[in-house]
Amino acid sequence: MEQFITNYLTRQQQVLAELPTQQIADLIELFRKTCEEDRQIFAFGNGGSATNASHFITDLSKGASDKWPKRFRGMSLNENVSWITALGNDYAYEDVYVRQLMNFAQPGDLVMVLSVSGNSPNLVKALTWCRANKVYSVALVGGQRGQLAQLADMVIVIDDMHYGRVEEAHMSICHLICYAFIEANEQ
């Protein structure tokens, strides 16, 4: 078991060391611009990625907003269980995010999806709608890249296939975004 832990941590450290720092810096700048323009920010995913999206929006809308001169207007679309289940029941599960965006998103807003596979039908449908409606989209994906890598305006790929490692790297990127604003005035 100790060898498994050592091997896992070694590979996780490699994945983190390979994070594309310039792309992350560009992403942080995109979030700054979105905030300055008072645009809405949406984040969502499935499973562990949904949890990461919720965690990210909490850190951004509370933590970063408390430290930054202007408040971030963030919303995690995977939080409203009754709405998600109503949309899934009355339409289809692949509509649970796109139909929320239809209610809230405006041209110029920002969507960030998190997905290890990059092929989840509900995320693909949401980004297809974003492209048609001039909502800027960012996809954090794993090594498969998937359809999201073709649809998103900005893509950050974690070049690994292991769900745990990719999700941990996505959360590290989310923390980097938030702490760039939380700690910006301390440096």
Distance in angstroms between the alpha carbons of the first and the last residue of the chain: 41
- Which structural domains are found in the chain, ordered by start? 2-186 (3.40.50.10490)
Instruction: Tell me the pLDDT band of 146, cut-offs 50, 70 and 90.
Output: very high
- What tens digit of pLDDT does each residue of 58-114 get? 999 999 999 999 999 999 999 999 999 999 999 999 999 999 999 999 999 999 999
If you average pLDDT over residues 2-26, what whole number do you get? 97
Q: According to the model, what pLDDT value does residue 79 have?
A: 95
Instruction: Tell me the pLDDT band of 184, cut-offs 50, 70 and 90.
Output: confident
Q: According to the model, what pLDDT value does residue 187 have?
A: 54
If you average pLDDT over residues 35-43, what whole number do you get? 98
Q: According to the model, what pLDDT value does residue 22 have?
A: 98
CA distance 86 to 66: 34
Query: What are φ and ψ of residue 143, in 5° steps?
Result: -60, -25
Q: According to the model, what pLDDT value does residue 57 have?
A: 98
Average pLDDT for the chain: 97
Task: Name the pTM for this structure.
Answer: 0.96
Q: Which strand (E) or helix (H) includes residue 138? A: strand 136-141
Does 186 or 82 have the greater pLDDT score? Answer: 82
Q: 95: which DSSP letter?
A: G
